[in-house]
Structures are given as structure tokens and as C-alpha cells.
Amino acid sequence: MDRIELIAPCHFGLEAVLKREILNLGYEISEVEDGRVSFYGDRKAICRANIFLRTAERILLKVGQFRAVTFDELFEKTRAIPWEEYIPENGKFWVAKAASVKSKLFSPSDIQSIMKKAMVKRLQERYHTDWFTEEGAAFPVRVFFMKDVATVGIDTSGISLHKRGYREVSGKAPITETLAAALIMLTPWNKDRILVDPFCGSGTFLIEAAMMAANIAPGMNRSFTAEEWKNFIPKRDWYDSIDEAEALIHDEIETDIQGYDVDGSVIKVARRNAREAGVEHLIHFQERDVKELRHPKKYGFVITNPPYGERLEDKKDLPALYRTFGESFRTLDSWSAYMITSYEEAERYFGRKADKNRKIYNGMLKTYFYQFLGPKPPKRPGEGRREDGQNSICNGK
């Protein structure tokens, strides 16, 4: 099984960013759908995708795809999947999640139960046993129905990939690490440019940017379910992938990445998170109100996740807050600003209509990524730079 197909779910609307990441890792795209990108690779691709991809939510090993409109069909077609090629006799296996859209089979619990029975039946026949101890490595299965077509995968990641391992405590209205990384990649920012987040909270935007600047792979400080799949992935593949990631780190660099927040206790959390991520020396955090947003240099970037007014009593403060933000930003000559918010009056009180606006779902919350573009800086001799809103991605090879 030298060639396998992997599925990488992502935030809806950010598939192009993930596709570019996968291509930069050297893999062939097989399909791009709403909320996921599929690609071909070898078994080592499981290791490299989990360690290097910044915008994927998890990595699934695709094991089957079929049409089923009855539970009998679901049972037989699940049973036809060669589960023994993936799951050893002592493996722990279950259908961890089932989802269904526009399909006749729509009950997650029933789908999970039927598929588990079919898996047991298949493995009983192949391993010639009536009982499985299920005391070995975990093989959680996920299935997604779309218009009666089931796509079946085994989760190689375990905990979602947005859990980098550096953020134990979050501030108010945290943005996930994967979404933060994707939004940064939608801007022309690079490590040589100034970056400020005046509502930095737990520091996610800044930490993700610093990790990109230092070329630190996002999965280096955590473990993955598939690390225990000794029957399927040689341990050497994991060691080689980590060695590859470590060799690419370049954290002895100078950056101008700054984070402000009016809450001093949140700044302490952000500093701790940056320290855990290994990028504390690349970010300057400061307790500061947005009205004090200032910087002497030109052509910088503001990338931020300002308060949304999640609680009803907080919404009354939003007009003044966004107005102050807009007034402060106007003092930053030649800068660009990018903000994600669910506050629909953001442009009005910010005092400027966005040059670009992208709808993005942050979980179940509909948000907007407003882009207020400043002028391009003059090109320095010998400098190659992208200004098309498609930031470069570090090649993991």
C-alpha cells in the first residue's frame, strides 16, 4: 500500500489555503470539497501532514466511499472494506463520529452502531475469532454522508490539530490556531513586515505568525493517534518527519511582532503561551488600550480578532470600541488592517468600508474577515514578495 488517500478537513471557505499548503508539502491533490481537501501520498505523508499542516483540522486515512440508502446497504458495504489492512487483531476501533447531509440515512447513532457491527463481522472472519480485546492502539473511524454517498476515514490525528500544545488557557472569544494561521496566510504579511494585534487576547494570531516566521512546524509539541499504529506506519517515519521539522527551524531571527490588550491578566496568559510555543523572544506583549495603537514605521499590518459582544450587556460598548479602533488605525500611515468579527456594524463604526470582505464560519458563528488595504511598500533590491493576499507557506521538504 505505497499510495494512500488522505482527507484534511478545514474551516469552510479556507480550502484554497489548505490546498496550497498540501501542494507545498509535495503531495498530489485528489479532490477539493466544501470544508475539506483530499490528497494522495505514502504512509509517511500521515506523519508529515500532521506535523507540518497549519490549517488542517485533522488528517483522515480514507478507507472507503460508497452509496448507501438503507442500513442493510450500509452494513454490507462497510463490511466489504478491508479493515484488516489497517486494524490489528488487538486494535481498539469504533465509529467516533457520523455526520449526514441531504441523505436518507441521517441518524448518527444508528449509523455508528451499524458500522461498528459490520467492522466486527469483517474482522471476526479475517482473524478467526469471536472476541476482540481492543486493548491495543486506537483506530477511531469517521463517516460523512453527502447525498447518500458515505466517505469513510480513520482519524490519524486524535485531538484536533488546532490544539498545538502551547495554549492551555484562552482569553475571551478565542480564535482557533488553525483559523488564525489560515487568516494570516490570506494576507501578504511575511516575517520582514511589522505585525500588531491590538486585541491580542491569548496571543494566537501573534504566536502563529511567529511560528511561521521561525519556520516552526505546528505539530512539533504534541502527539497523534497514528503514532501507535506500529502495524501500519514504521516508527522511523515519525522520527524522520520530526528530524525534518527540527532541521527547518530558524528562530534566530529578528521580527517586529507586537500584541496589546487592555487586560493585564490576559497579557500574562499570552506571554505564557508564547513561551510554550518557543517564540516568546519574537513577540513583544504590552498592556495597552486600542486608543494607544501607534507605530513609527510604515507599511505595517494589523491582524486582529476584536470583541464581538458575545454577551448582550457587552454589545452596547461595541460602537465606541470599533470607532476608537478606526480612529487609531487612521494614524498609521500606509498600514493595512485585517479583522475577523461577527459584529455586523464593524465597518460603520470603524469608519471605512473594507476593500475586501470574506465570510468565514468560526465554528457555528458566522464571521466576516474585513480587509482594509494600504499601499504596497517600495520593492527593495533583489526582494521577491507577494502582495496578492496569498502568503507563502514554508515547504516541509
DSSP 78-131: HHTS-GGGT--TT-EEEEEEEEEES-S---HHHHHHHHHHHHHHHHHHHHT-S-
What is the value of pTM for the model shown? 0.93
Q: What's residue 394's pLDDT? A: 41
Segment 350-367 shows an average pLDDT of 91
Residue 179 to residue 9: CA distance in whole angstroms: 12
List the domains of the chain with CATH numbers. 4-155 (3.30.2130.30), 177-216+250-372 (3.40.50.150)
For residue 110, pLDDT beyond 70: yes
For residue 307, pLDDT beyond 50: yes
For residue 363, pLDDT beyond 80: no
Sign of the torsion angle spanned by Cα atoms 196, 197, 202, 203: negative
Residue with cell 479532490: 31
At 220, phi and psi to the nearest 5? -75, -20
Residue 359 CB coordination number (10 Å): 10
For residue 160, pLDDT beyond 80: yes
Segment 49-58 shows an average pLDDT of 98
Cell representation of residue 270: 499570552
At residue 221 the predicted structure's pLDDT band, cuts being 50, 70 and 90, is confident
For residue 153, pLDDT beyond 60: yes
Residue 155 to residue 167: CA distance in whole angstroms: 22
Question: How big, in percent rounded to 5, are the helix, strand and coil portions of the chain?
Answer: 30, 25, 45
Segment 311-335 shows an average pLDDT of 89
Which has more confidence, 286 or 384? Answer: 286
- Using N-to-C axis directions, what is the helix angle for 108-127 and 71-79, rounded to 10°? 40
pLDDT, one tens digit per residue, over 251-263 is 999 999 999 999 9
For the ranges 97-101, 165-169, 277-281, 382-386, the lowest mean pLDDT is seen at: 382-386
Segment 330-348 shows an average pLDDT of 95
